[in-house]
Amino acid sequence: MLNIEKIRKDFPILQCTMHGKPLIYLDSSNTSQKPNGVIDAITHYYKNYNANIHRSIYELSAKATHLYEKTRTNIKEFINAKSTQEIIFTKGTTEAINLVASSLSFSEGDEIIVSTMEHHSNLVPWQKLGVKLRIIPISDKGELDLGAYQNLFNSHTKMVAITHASNVLGTINPIKEITKIAHQHQVAVLVDGAQAFPHLPVDVEDLDCDFYAFSSHKAYGPTGVGVLYGKKDLLEKMSPYQGGGNMIERVSLTDFTCNQLPYKFEAGTPNIADVIAFDAAINYIKSIGFENIMRHEQNLLHYATEKLNNIDGLRIIGNASKKLGVISFVMKEIHPHDIGTILDHEGIAVRAGHHCAMPLMERFKVPAMVRVSFGIYNTEKEIDHLSLALKTAERIFA
Ligand code: C6P
């Protein structure tokens, strides 16, 4: 059994009060809180190793480079990639998807298959290309219609870009099956792993996806860092994303040749401190173990679902059979923003709005939803407080 009280002590922010009440943080899908090890790693780097990487021969720079590359190796092993050349550091999931959109060559008439439950980050980069998007519909429970998916392929299909887990519905999509079908049509698959990566084990070899994008800040790591995993043969064929230092092998006044992978896609001075601290976040997750994380978050999901279902006028949106610890809901007569404000005054942080998934709001015919999302530090007691606050809101508005 996990000792959650001990885990909570690793997260200094959880000792804070908001509006005079203890903070109840239920917005980990937005960004997770950070344990001491991650916060300390940032300070430690600036106090002891601050130097630019890959450029200088002095010891300080060599140390910084070593720590930066250590994170890459850790991530390669964590997601079971074949080589560190397949791990590209980006600003986050959004930049990782934009990198693929701008570096793979697309032409007029190409089609990309996406789903109704995509975050804007997995829609807009493709829309900007002017290609046609073909949409996988979802059921009222919030599950993909895989039958419809199979019928979307044709000779113009260039890519499937799909989320591993919905940030609104919590639905965990069957990526292995989706990839298998796409590959039968010789179509590459990009997986938006922003939500799944912190909560379940990701094995890119087993999934067999061609690209997998994720962010550090949702996985107990710092903001401003993310990863694009890509199969080496595909990355080799892609053009560089940005031009500048580090991504080149040789430059003349008229042309350049590219550096080898992964540096070809890492132009300029990267976010060194935060990449190094991401290593501490990965190690933190490893120290708890996904088996424990998933058991705890699934318990919270079931406990909270039961509690919320007992509140008059509250409707949960997204009831997939495989869900992350995410619950979105609406309440009769109360706007989600009002619920967010009422909860805030009780010290409870939730997200209210369109959750960067406007097409999904349209699908469920609501302008906005309230979302609670769990991390390893949440407790049933916090859910009791949430439930009580929602019941009070319901009484006030009734
Ligand atoms: N979702 C949420 O509250 P970045 O901002 O690049 O780290 O992640 C973007 C992103 C991409 N895909 C999915 C499925 C996501 O959930 C997110 C971020 C946050 O749901 C902030 S909008």
- Helix then strand then coil, in percent of the chain rounded to 5, is 40, 20, 40
Q: Which residue has the tokens 């550091």?
A: 89
- pLDDT the model gives residue 176: 98
Contact residues for 340 (Cβ-Cβ < 8 A; gap 6+): 350, 351, 352, 370
Ligand 1 pocket: which of 124, 171, 173, 195 to mutate (most atoms within 8 A of CB): 195
Q: Which of 186, 179, 140, 142 is nearest to 161 (CA)?
A: 179
Rounded Cα–Cα distance for residues 319 and 231 (Å): 33
Q: Which residue has the tokens 């080149």?
A: 248
- pLDDT the model gives residue 278: 99
Rounded Cα–Cα distance for residues 295 and 292 (Å): 5
50 CA from centroid of ligand 1 (Å): 30
Q: Which CATH number fits domain 39-287: 3.40.30.10, 3.40.640.10, 3.40.50.10610, 3.30.1600.10?
A: 3.40.640.10
Q: Is the CB of 173 under 6 A from ligand 1?
A: no
Ligand 1: residue whose CA is nearest its atom 2 = 30
3 CA from centroid of ligand 1 (Å): 29
- pLDDT the model gives residue 56: 86
Asked if 209 is an active-site residue, the reply is no
367 CA from centroid of ligand 1 (Å): 19
Q: The tokens of 226 are what?
A: 């993310």
Mean pLDDT by runs of 10 across the 398 residues of the chain is 95 98 98 98 98 93 97 98 98 98 95 98 97 98 98 98 98 98 98 98 98 98 98 98 97 98 98 98 98 98 98 97 98 95 97 98 98 98 98 90
Q: Is the CB of 163 under 6 A from ligand 1?
A: yes
Burial class of residue 37 in the structure, from the number of CB atoms within 10 Å of its CB (0-12 exposed, 13-18 middle, 19+ buried)? middle
In ligand 1, the atom with minimum distance to the C-alpha of 94 is: 6
At residue 343, φ and ψ (nearest 5 deg) are -65, -40
User: What length is written for the chain?
Assistant: 398
Contact residues for 386 (Cβ-Cβ < 8 A; gap 6+): 24, 26, 304, 307, 343, 348, 350, 372
CB 343 within 8 A of CB 350: yes
CA-to-CA separations, 138 to 119, 128, 149, 166, 194, in angstroms, rounded: 14, 24, 10, 11, 20
What would the CATH number be for the domain defined by 4-30+289-397? 3.90.1150.10
29 CA from centroid of ligand 1 (Å): 8
Q: Which residues are paired to 271 by β-bridges?
A: none
Ligand 1: residue whose CA is nearest its atom 17 = 194
CB 138 within 8 A of CB 363: yes
Instruction: Indicate the pairing of strand 132-136 with strand 24-25.
Output: unpaired
Q: Which of 370, 396, 380 is nearest to 315 (CA)?
A: 370
Ligand 1: residue whose CA is nearest its atom 1 = 30
CB 363 within 8 A of CB 350: no
Q: Is the CB of 121 under 6 A from ligand 1?
A: yes
- pLDDT the model gives residue 288: 98
Ligand 1 pocket: which of 30, 93, 202, 323 to mutate (most atoms within 8 A of CB): 93
Per domain, the residue ranges of the chain are 4-30+289-397, 39-287
30 CA from centroid of ligand 1 (Å): 7
- pLDDT the model gives residue 333: 87
